[in-house]
Amino acid sequence: MEPKIKIAVDAMGGENSPKKVIYGILENYKNNKDIIYNIFGDKEKILILLPKNFDKEVFNIIDTKNKILDTDSPLSAAKKGKDTSMWLTIQSVKNNDSDVAISAGNTGALFVISKLNLKMIENIDKPALSALWPNKNNFNVVLDLGANIECNNKNLVDFSIMGSSLFKSLYPNDEPVVALLNIGSEELKGNDIIKKAYQDLTNIKNKNFNFYGYVEGNQIMDGKVNVIVTDGFTGNIALKTAEGTANFIVKEFKKSMTSNFLGKLSGLINFANLNKIKKKLDPRLYNGAILIGLDSPVVKSHGSTDYIGFSNSLNVCVKIVRNNLIQKIKDNISK
């Protein structure tokens, strides 16, 4: 029997917390009985959300009243004190009391507090923020999504190795196929950094992935690749554009299906197909960005997600621990 996975949870981060966090934990526990949740936050507020007869060994509450606010700058958050729910959550993995940490709180603060507490994996220069995006077949791992505004060619190669390791941890039966996000698919397109990264990735031996080459922004969801690598500036813009487009499409669908009688009738007739599209675009299904490159895994849940989205980000925690993400990165980097 495998040992239980211990997840350190910041219960006070993000909108509507701790309610959405605790309800997300309860939803997640329905299908994951081999988990221990180390929950950091205001014990009084947490207790009223849990069942009266909850298992204290499974739902382990560590009381702290102090928390990081969304309005805190990363620097002020780091100075706020080591008794905040976010700091204690990260410290739990640092001290090996938990296997993975998760927060829906302030992204900049989480990044700084994680870097202050956790070491980098050897030979990795910069951590990256990676997340799942839907594609035609399943999902892409995309990185970096905002941790590093500027990157050199080695960083992009490191991101390729880390992203491939993450993909393999989430989807053990599929092979990672890496592409660099660029302004064109031709080998001569792009700036000097991305061209050098292209050559480096082409020449690497013992790769843990197949290198596809370049993809453009309109090819992200084609399904030809499943790991997409870029710098944090470009990645963050691409992410926000994709999220905005998905929200626009869903809203326009709803509007067209409810605006008049014919729209409502069409909606009823095509309900099953429309529901498939809506589910495919539902950001809750791929909630959970991973701060990758540190020697312990840290997951960032979207601050505005609901309990279903938070539960899905807890599933990401389970997969990356169960499939040894950190060890995979270490092994692949050493090659």
Residues 218-230 have pLDDT tens digits of 888 888 999 999 9
- The predicted pLDDT at position 257 comes to 62
Q: By the 8 A CB rule, do 87 and 72 touch?
A: no
Give me the residue spans of the domains in the chain: 1-123+293-335, 125-285
Phi and psi at 70, nearest 5°, equal -65, -25
Over residues 135-153, the mean pLDDT reads 89
Phi and psi at 241, nearest 5°, equal -65, -45
Confidence of residue 103 (pLDDT cuts 50, 70, 90): very high
Q: What's the token pair of residue 272?
A: 């099953």
Q: By the 8 A CB rule, do 279 and 287 touch?
A: no
Q: Is the pLDDT of residue 242 over 90?
A: no
What 3-state class would DSSP assign to 181? strand
What is the amino acid identity at position 92? S
* Per-residue pLDDT tens digits for 157-212: 999 999 999 999 889 889 999 999 998 877 778 889 999 999 999 998 878 899 99
- The predicted pLDDT at position 178 comes to 96
Q: Is the pLDDT of residue 22 over 80?
A: yes
Q: Which CATH class is domain 1-123+293-335?
A: alpha beta
Token pair 């309005």 is found at 71
How many whole angstroms separate alpha carbon 122 and alpha carbon 223?
32
* Domains 1-123+293-335 and 125-285 are alike in CATH topology: yes
Q: Is the pLDDT of residue 112 over 90?
A: yes
Confidence of residue 258 (pLDDT cuts 50, 70, 90): low
Q: Give strand pairing partners of 7.
A: 37, 100
Q: Report in angstroms the alpha-carbon separations of 218 from 144, 151, 221, 324.
A: 18, 22, 7, 33
CATH superfamily of 125-285: Isopropylmalate Dehydrogenase (3.40.718.10)
